[in-house]
Amino acid sequence: MSENVDSHGGVASPEVYRRRRIIALLVLVLVLLLGISLVSWLVGRGGDSEPTAATSSTSASAEAFSDFSQRATESATASPSDSESADPSASSDGSESAEPTESASQEPSESAEPTESAEPTEEATPEPTETPAVVAACTPADLQVSLTADRTSYAAGQNPALAVVYTNASDNPCLVTGGVANVDINITSGPAQVFNYAQCHAAPAEDAQVEAGATNTTSLSWDRSLNVLGCGTSAKIQPGHYWATASVNGVNSQPVRIVVTG
């Protein structure tokens, strides 16, 4: 093992050796701190020079455009806060950033104001229309039918003229289906069929409405033909007693006697 020797050629004690090492370590630490301080100072000097250059370039640009006038528009006018935030000299060093300002395009314009919408108009409520009541066909409970002849007897050359009278005795209107075509006269001689008016004379027609309490009259004439043999026959009846019955919508009248003398 080697021994520690002091500056005078003697052997140094361990305590002295320990002190020397501590002093050397302190000196080394001091040198390191001085080096770090020097580097930080140099870096700070370099950072301060950049804003100065930016300021110089900004001033030069501002002088170059000092005669330039921007055309003022309502949406592109810069606010005072924009000019203050654009000045690089407002910050002391590069670490502080400019405060954000509202863009001029975000300022509300007159065109953005809400327009008043037209007030809704009240739609006219359609008045309910009355549905017309359905009129039913006349029944025996509605109609009263009667038949009359212009004479009691007819001589040669005289044709019976008959009148059918029907009255709506109910409180409601009713329909005679087929109109006058549904007004019929049937003539018999005893049990034998002689003449039927609708068989050869009736024609299709529209329904005829009979109001409540109304009375209608239909006049018909018998030419004495014997149409039971066909509508085109020329055969005539013989003198004698005949019975005529009127019918309206299936409602029959009382029989009327017709006397033919010649």
DSSP structural state of residue 120:
P
> What's the pLDDT at 65?
45
The pLDDT of residue 16 is 83
The pLDDT value given to residue 17: 81
Token pair of 185 as six digits:
């006269």
What percent of the chain shows pLDDT beyond 70?
Answer: 63
Higher pLDDT, 44 or 250: 250
Residue type for position 93: D
Question: Counting Cβ atoms within 10 Å, is residue 226 exposed (0-12), middle (13-18) or buried (19+)?
Answer: middle
Using one digit for the tens of pLDDT, what is the confidence trace for 63-104? 554 554 555 444 444 444 444 444 444 444 444 444 444 444
CA distance 106 to 31: 57
More confident residue, 238 or 180: 238
Instruction: Report residue 254's pLDDT band, with 50, 70 and 90 as the boundaries.
Output: very high
Q: What three-state secondary structure class fits 57?
A: helix
| pLDDT-derived band at 6, boundaries 50, 70, 90 | low
Q: How far is the C-alpha of 196 from the C-alpha of 220, rounded, in Å?
A: 11
- At residue 103's C-alpha, the angle toward residues 101 and 109, to 5°, is 130
pLDDT at 206: 85
* Alpha-carbon distances of 94 from 36, 41, 150, 196, rounded to whole Å: 22, 16, 133, 126
Question: What one-character DSSP code corresponds to residue 37?
Answer: H
**pLDDT, tens digit, 9 for 90 and up, residues 214-228:** 999 999 999 999 988
pLDDT at 34 over 80: yes
Low-confidence winner among 125-134, 146-155, 179-188, 197-206 (lowest mean pLDDT): 125-134
In sign, the C-alpha dihedral spanning 53, 55, 58, 63 is negative
Per-residue model confidence (pLDDT) at position 44: 80
Q: Hey, what amino acid is at 152? A: T
What is the C-alpha separation between 120 and 117, in angstroms, rounded? Answer: 9
147 against 60, higher pLDDT: 147
- Give pLDDT tens digits for 148-185: 999 999 999 999 999 999 999 999 999 998 876 788 99
Residue 255 clears pLDDT 60, i.e. is over it: yes
pTM score, two decimals? 0.49
Which stretch of 65-79, 128-142, 185-199, 205-219 has the lowest confidence by average pLDDT? 65-79
Mean pLDDT for the chain overall: 76
For the chain, how many residues are written? 262
